Structures are given as C-alpha cells and as structure tokens.
C-alpha cells in the first residue's frame, strides 16, 4: 500500500516538474504583458458599473468611433430590453436622441435613389468607413479593428485592452520605432499603428469625473466588455438561480439514492 | 424473465403487435446490473444525456443559423444578441461539446482500467470507438460553423491532412473543399454533415446498448456475475444513482456555461474568418490536442497523419493486444501502474499539442508519442504475458475476502 502511494506521488511529481519547466520556458518569450485590473463585472455576482458604462460610451463616441466601428451593436442596445436586458442605463428618449444624431444611408426610394436620414434606435452603429479599403487608406495602411468583440478577441481580454490604451510610452533607448508607428509596451512587438488615442482631458465627462487616461481607459474597456457580452448580467443572475436549484436538487437526489440503496449489501 | 402482463389495454394492444413496452421494461427497468458498480460507471448514461442535449440545442440553433460564408459569423452573433435566450442555447451547445468529450473520455478510461474491452465485450468496445470517431468528425465540423479565424484555419489545416495521401491527395482535398480553398461550399457541406452525423451517432449508440445488454455490464472486480445474488435491477438503483451523478455533472457544466462560457474557447474565433491573415498559432479544440501533438511530433507529413489516425485505430486491436484474462486493473499490479503512466502520457501530449512545437516541447512531444504507441504495442502485450495477477474473488458477493472470511463476517453481523 505504502509503495503504491509513493509510486503515484513520484509519477505526479515528474509530470508536474515537466509541465512547470515547459511553462517557464514558454513564458520567457517576448509576449504581451499587462497587469490585472479590478473589474466590476468579474465574478459570479459581477455586474456592470452603470456610470462607468455611460462614461465609456462617451469615450467610444468622442474618441474611438472616429476610426473604429462597432458594427454588431444597434443603438437600441444602449437602452437594453429585448432579448438581453442589460443596456448601459439610458432612457428610450436618450437612445432616440443618440440615434438621431447620426446620418444613416437608406433606400432606394421610389425614384431609385439612396438617401440620408437621421438614425433610428433599430439601426446598427454607423461605421466610420464604408469599407476596409477606405479605412486602410485613411490610416496609413493599417486597419482599425471593429470593437464589437475586441475584448473577447484578444488573449487577456479587458486587462489587455486596458494595457494597450495605457501602454503608450517613450521608446527605450536603442529601440527604433518605424515611421508612422508608436511605441506601446503592451502590444506584441511594441510597435502599434494606432496613435495614442487618449490624453488627460480628451473628453469632458458629464458627471464631472476627472478624465485621466487610466479613468477613460477603465471606462471604455467596461463599455467594450458590455458591447462584447451584453448578456453578462442576465447570465450571472440566471446562473446563480440555476446553480442554487441544482445544488438543492442534487442534494435531494443524493438522499433518495441513499434511501433506495439502503437494502443493497 | 417472465412476460409482463400489461394492464392498460392500449399498452397491451400495442405490445402484442410490437413488444416495445416489453423491450423497454427489459432493458431500462429489469436489466440485471452488477450491484458493485462505482461512480465511474455513471459516465455512459451521462454521455447519452449529453448527446440528446446537443441534438436538442443544435436543432434549435440551426433554425437561427445561416450556413453562408458571408453571413455565418454575424448570424451566430445575432443568436447571441437578438434571439431570445440565444446566448444560453449557444453557450450550452458550445460548452456541451467539451463536456460531452469529458464524459466520453472518462467513460473510455474507465473501460481501459477495468478491462471492459475484453471478451465478451469486443464488439461493444468497437462500437464505442466508432462513436468516438463520429463524435470527433461532428465536433470538428461544428467548430467550423461560426466561421471565425480558428474555424477557418482549423478547417484548412485538418482538411489539408488528406493531401498527404500519395497521388490522389490533392484531388481528394479539392473534392472535400468543393473548390480550391476552404470557402462557402466547404461551410455548406460541413453544416449538412454536422446536422446528419449526430443521428448516425444515435444509431450506433443503440447498437452499443444492444451489445451492452447482450454481454451485460462489466464491474470494478471485472469478474462475471454468478447469479441473481450479484445483480440488482437497473431501476430504481441505477436510475437514481445516474440522476444524482447527472446533478453533480450539471453543476460543473452549467457553472462553466453561466460564469466562464468562453473558458474552452479561443480568442481568435471572435475574429471573422479572413483567408488572407493566418493566426499566429493554429490550435484545435482541447479534446483534439493529444492527436494534434502526435501529428506534429512526426517530421514526415504522411507518417504524421498515419500516426495520428493510428492513435485511435490501435485501440480497435486492444482486446487482442491485451490478452491477459484478468479484466480489472485491481488485480493487475503491473498493468495498473502503466495505466496511470499512459494517462499522464496523454495529458502531456495534450499540453504539447497546445503549444508551438519548438525547443524542448518538440522533444517532449516526440518522446510522449513514442511512449503512446510503445504502451499499446509492446508494454501491454508484455504485461499480459509476464504479469502475475492477484487472486480473483470468487464472486461479486464475496469480494476481496475469502469465502471463509465472508462467512465469519456474516456471523459477526448476526451477533
């Protein structure tokens, strides 16, 4: 018995040592590094911080949307309701006003012409460029990615996007930054085509919050996490109920199992 | 087994013409099951539950999904955002694939530990392997459907494997793709087959159960049941035990669905497929990683493909490679040790498959691949030849203890 346990322990120790060694060597490579932030939407009971969501939307609207689309979202999503209930806490009228502030191409009309009209809540977010070629032509050949799923589409998620937004620094001595590129300590290879998008006071928050770079990065990442996972709050809320139900049900099933099996020897 | 007398006239009328109720009663209620099955025996019915759940959620998802390379990605996002509880259906289906594989892999490793592949269960084992292969095909094609970057490039890498076949390879790949690259025709046929294959799996599951109910369940002792004193009816004993196990399984599974739904996913698959931009590392879903590691460990493409497919096909020969007459590893001291080594080897292969094949990882992958085949082709037959198994208990009723010890235990109980 003793020997058996020792054998097992030895086997696991060897496997652990191999895995650990491999992990360390893999980590030594030049990979994006960023620190973990404190997010309100993390954890089983995590929810979005509504004021932060609204500030984040303002940062997207005033800064990011000049180059980055958000094509999977409709203006109505900002107000919530429908299939997924978590909007960013705006009223129907506020959503209508935001939608009406953009011009949407619609048509063709009875004469066969396309025409411009003010946006409606049911419209998708209008993209800054009509197509990829136009986007590249305006951005030195680089394509600003769509932001609808950006938080899910990058390893590290919210922490990574926050790291990019706050990672613009002066290049260290001896590091050559190519023309039209910017040094970013988070980005793989440290050269990014996006100019530093945020600077202190780049937006004026309606709620008087100080618009520092870390504050704006935090807000816009919160907003983009919501944009990628608008179901997150419903999911957490239903999930808690489902798990509580299952724990009780499974407990009862265990009691029934014990009772049924009590006559088997 | 006496023919049950059905009281309900409708049931009686049907049963006389087609004994569907009698068959159900024999195989789901009366089915005599060894009374000593452990919780490791829960994973068969759990796998069956997952199959039904995958088909149910999949059928509903297919009502909203569009199998067109221009529209597929956005139609999945529409399900996530605009369809009522679409996110729930999709996350249950997406993570269901992972948990289906978890249940099936545990089911297979249970069979390996307790020798469930040995006489008279060879056919049962084969049918199980056929199910595994069908599952892998279904899962692979399902992963392609959202048409993200990893969907597209995974499909490209895996279908390209067939180009390793001499002479005809290139033509086979063109035929599989329905064109000269992975494109809309590929997506269309994958969707069609992804919808078809689960029903083929259902058919093979019925054969698997038929074979099971003919040769009866194995048990942790690996010895045959000797009579009614060794068995209990499936219902209520194992129905309630399976339901309890299902509850525990669901807590873990739905915990992932609700709180970390993208735990098994790849960030790259949130980027729409782009044939002009290859992801830095193309990795398959976690349940394919060990096979992927074997593929990449062999420097020659054709041999790599052969090795990868052989890693499963070798299991078909297992009932003859392991010709030891003792089934359960409990009584096989040497086999038990190499069993755990194999499990660790497979886990190491999985780790290797998840990482780029360079530096030490490449060599670890090669050693683990070599050991994998060494295990089945050399070590297992040698153990069968030289191992001295421990004495087997005479029956399930008197396990471990000898007959005399059991008798004295019984007297003590009375006292």
Pair (B299, B259) in one structural domain: no
Could you give the residue numbers annotated as active site of B? Answer: 213, 217, 241-242, 285
DSSP A115: E
Does B384 fall in a domain? yes
Question: CA B257 to CA B251: how far, in whole Å?
Answer: 10
Give residue for tokens 């997150």: A232
Whether residue A184 is preceded by a cis peptide bond, meaning omega within 30 degrees of 0, is no
- A231 vs B351: CB contact, 8 Å cut-off? no
Does B21 fall in a domain? no
Nearest CB to A256: which of B74, B240, B267?
B240
Q: Which of A8, A235, A241, A255 to substitute to test the interface with B, most B CBs within 10 Å?
A: A235
- B77 vs A148: CB contact, 8 Å cut-off? yes
pLDDT in tens, B309-359: 999 999 999 999 999 999 999 999 999 999 999 999 999 999 999 999 889
Does B22 fall in a domain? no
Question: CA B227 to CA B91: how far, in whole Å?
Answer: 46
- A250 vs B247: CB contact, 8 Å cut-off? yes
- B341 vs A11: CB contact, 8 Å cut-off? yes
Domain that holds residue B58: 38-224+232-282
Question: CA B112 to CA B403: how far, in whole Å?
Answer: 29
Domain count, chain B: 2
Question: CA A69 to CA A60: how far, in whole Å?
Answer: 10
Pair (B170, B298) in one structural domain: no
Does B61 fall in a domain? yes
pTM of this structure? 0.91
Question: CA A229 to CA B94: how far, in whole Å?
Answer: 16
Backbone phi and psi for residue B159, each to the nearest 5 degrees, phi listed first: -65, -30
A239 → chain B, closest CA residue: B258
Pair (B160, B207) in one structural domain: yes
Residue B415 has pLDDT above 60, yes or no: no
- Could you tell me if A232 lies within 8 Å of chain B, comparing CB atoms? no
DSSP B219: -
Does B147 fall in a domain? yes
Check residue A83 and give its pLDDT: 64
Pair (B112, B138) in one structural domain: yes
**How big is the A-B interface in CB pairs under 8 Å?**
113
Residue A129: pLDDT band with limits 50, 70, 90:
very high
Pair (B272, B365) in one structural domain: no
Residue B92 has pLDDT above 90, yes or no: yes
Nearest CB to B241: which of A236, A250, A257?
A257
DSSP readout, A193-238? SS-----TTSS--TT-----HHHHHHHHHHHHHHHH-TTHHHHHHH
Pair (B273, B376) in one structural domain: no
Does B80 fall in a domain? yes
Check residue A228 and give its pLDDT: 97
Average pLDDT, stretch A194-218? 95
Nearest CB to A235: which of B87, B232, B250?
B87
The CA distances from residue B238 to A252, A257, B86, B231, B317, in Å, are 16, 9, 34, 11, 31
- Could you tell me if A97 lies within 8 Å of chain B, comparing CB atoms? no
Whether residue B236 is preceded by a cis peptide bond, meaning omega within 30 degrees of 0, is yes
Query: Would you say B305 and B160 are in contact if contact means Cβ atoms under 8 Å apart?
Result: no
Nearest CB to B81: which of A72, A235, A261?
A72
pLDDT in tens, A69-107: 999 999 999 997 766 777 999 999 999 999 999 999 999
The percentage of chain B sitting over the pLDDT mark of 70, rounded to a whole number, equals: 95
A45 → chain B, closest CA residue: B259
Residue B111 has pLDDT above 70, yes or no: yes
pLDDT in tens, B162-212: 999 999 999 999 999 999 999 999 999 999 999 999 999 999 999 999 999
Pair (B294, B250) in one structural domain: no
Residue A34: pLDDT band with limits 50, 70, 90:
confident
Residue A36: pLDDT band with limits 50, 70, 90:
very high
Does B11 fall in a domain? no
Query: Comparing C-alpha atoms, which of B367, B405, B401, B10 is closest to residue B221?
Result: B401
Check residue A265 and give its pLDDT: 76
């Amino acid at each position: 018995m003793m020997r058996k346990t020792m054998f097992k322990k030895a086997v696991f120790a060897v496997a652990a040592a191999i895995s650990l060694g491999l992990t360390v060597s893999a980590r030594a490579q030049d990979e994006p590094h960023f620190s973990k932030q404190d997010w309100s939407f993390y954890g089983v009971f995590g929810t979005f911080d509504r004021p932060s969501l609204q500030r984040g939307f303002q940062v997207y609207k005033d800064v990011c949307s000049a180059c980055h689309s958000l094509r999977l979202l409709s203006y109505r999503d900002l107000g919530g309701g429908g299939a997924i209930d978590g909007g960013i806490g705006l009223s129907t009228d506020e959503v209508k006003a935001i939608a009406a502030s953009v011009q949407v191409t619609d048509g063709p009309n009875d004469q066969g012409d396309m025409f411009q009209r003010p946006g409606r809540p049911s419209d998708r977010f209008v993209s800054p460029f009509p197509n990829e070629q136009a986007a590249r032509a305006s951005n030195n050949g680089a394509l600003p990615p769509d932001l609808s799923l950006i938080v899910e589409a990058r390893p590290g998620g919210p922490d990574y996007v926050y790291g990019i937004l706050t990672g613009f620094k002066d290049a260290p001595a001896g590091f050559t930054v190519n023309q039209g590129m910017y040094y970013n300590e988070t980005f793989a290879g440290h050269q990014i085509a996006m100019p530093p998008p945020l600077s202190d006071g780049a937006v004026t928050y309606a709620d008087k919050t100080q618009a520092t770079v870390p504050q704006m990065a935090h807000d816009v990442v919160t907003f983009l996490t919501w944009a990628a996972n608008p179901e997150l709050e419903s999911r957490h809320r239903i999930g808690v109920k489902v798990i509580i139900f299952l724990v009780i049900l499974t407990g009862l099933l265990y009691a029934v199992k014990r009772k049924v099996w009590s006559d088997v020897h | 087994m006496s023919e049950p007398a059905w009281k309900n006239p409708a049931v009686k009328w049907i049963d006389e013409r087609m004994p569907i109720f009698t068959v159900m009663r024999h195989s789901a209620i009366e089915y005599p099951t060894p009374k000593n099955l452990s919780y490791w025996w829960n994973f068969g019915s759990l796998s069956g539950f997952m199959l039904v759940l995958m088909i149910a959620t999949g059928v509903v998802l297919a009502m909203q999904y569009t199998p067109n390379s221009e529209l597929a990605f956005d139609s999945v996002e529409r399900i996530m955002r605009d369809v009522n509880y679409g996110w729930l259906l999709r996350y249950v289906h997406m993570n269901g694939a992972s948990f289906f594989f978890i249940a099936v892999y545990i089911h297979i490793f249970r069979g390996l530990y307790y020798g469930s592949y040995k006489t008279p269960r060879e056919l049962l084992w084969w049918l199980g392997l056929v199910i595994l292969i069908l599952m892998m095909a279904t899962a692979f094609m399902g992963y392609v459907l959202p048409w993200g970057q990893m969907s597209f490039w995974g499909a490209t890498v895996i279908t390209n494997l067939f180009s390793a076949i001499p002479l005809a390879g290139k033509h086979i790949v063109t035929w599989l793709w329905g064109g000269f690259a992975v494109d809309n025709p590929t997506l269309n046929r994958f969707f069609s087959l992804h919808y078809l294959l689960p029903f083929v799996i259902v058919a093979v599951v019925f054969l698997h159960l038929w074979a099971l109910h003919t040769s009866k369940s194995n048990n942790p002792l690996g010895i045959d049941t000797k009579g009614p004193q060794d068995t209990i009816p499936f219902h209520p004993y194992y129905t309630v035990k399976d339901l309890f196990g299902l509850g525990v399984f669901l807590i873990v599974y739905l915990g992932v669905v609700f709180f970390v739904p993208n735990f098994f996913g790849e960030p790259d698959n949130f980027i729409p497929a782009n044939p002009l931009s290859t992801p830095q590392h193309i990795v398959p879903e976690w349940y394919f990683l060990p096979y992927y590691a074997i593929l990449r460990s062999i420097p020659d493409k054709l041999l790599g493909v052969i090795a990868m497919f052989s890693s499963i096909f070798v299991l078909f020969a297992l009932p003859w490679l392991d010709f030891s007459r003792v089934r359960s590893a409990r009584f096989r001291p040497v086999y038990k040790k190499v069993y755990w080594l194999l499990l660790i080897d497979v886990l190491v292969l999985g780790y290797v498959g998840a990482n780029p094949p360079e530096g030490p990882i490449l060599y670890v992958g090669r050693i683990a691949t070599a050991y994998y085949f060494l295990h089945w082709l050399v070590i297992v037959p040698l153990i069968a030849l030289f191992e001295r198994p421990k004495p087997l208990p005479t029956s399930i009723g008197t396990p471990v203890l000898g007959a005399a010890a059991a008798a004295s235990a019984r007297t003590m109980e009375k006292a």
